[in-house]
Amino acid sequence: MTRLNTTKGFLQMDEATNTIVVGAGFGPSLPEGGYFIETPGGLDPNNFLGHYIVDGTFKKRPTSPKPVFVEGKGWSIVNCPAGTLIEIHDLGGKEVILSYKTTEEDDLLEFFLEDEGMYTFYVTSPIPYRPFKQTVKLG
């Protein structure tokens, strides 16, 4: 007896726009509730994590801007879309030392970290951007 493979790949889409892939999996049928679509062309659904749909085509979601260190000048984050949330956590002091949300007028943030220690940068731009996280050790 030949057994047919009845497992389907599926993608879970975000509820707000129904365009961003937020989950993936396999099953005999699409899950109920939420926003699910069958994986295109029978492809592995995990290949679509981190993607979104633009004009009917899957595209990789861009990453939020990354902090860049410039010797003698400090840190900068450029080209931030309006509404980007930037947080810096001092891991040693266990506190958030900066929490800033950009507007249309300020797509650049420059800052200095004078104390030695471990810091984590979180940059979260609006959809469709993916969040960025980086931990650095100074000193």
| 37 and 85 assigned to the same domain | no
Residue 85: CATH number of its domain: 2.60.40.3080
| 103 and 76 assigned to the same domain | yes
The 10s digit of each residue's pLDDT in 57-80 is 999 999 999 999 988 889 999 999
| 51 and 74 assigned to the same domain | no
Determine what percent of the chain is predicted with pLDDT higher than 70: 95
Residue 17 lies in a domain: yes
Residue ranges making up the domain that contains 22: 8-60
Q: What's the chain's average pLDDT?
A: 88
Residue 1 lies in a domain: no
The 10s digit of each residue's pLDDT in 5-61 is 557 888 999 888 889 998 998 888 877 776 888 887 778 899 999 999 999 899 999
Q: Are 132 and 63 in contact (CB under 8 A)?
A: yes
| Domains identified in the chain, total number | 2
DSSP structure string for 38-74: EPGGG--GGGGTTEEEETTEEEEPPBPP--EEETTTE
Residue 3 lies in a domain: no
> Which phi and psi angles does 127 have, rounded to 5°?
-55, 135
Overall average pLDDT of the 121-125 stretch: 96
Residue 2 lies in a domain: no
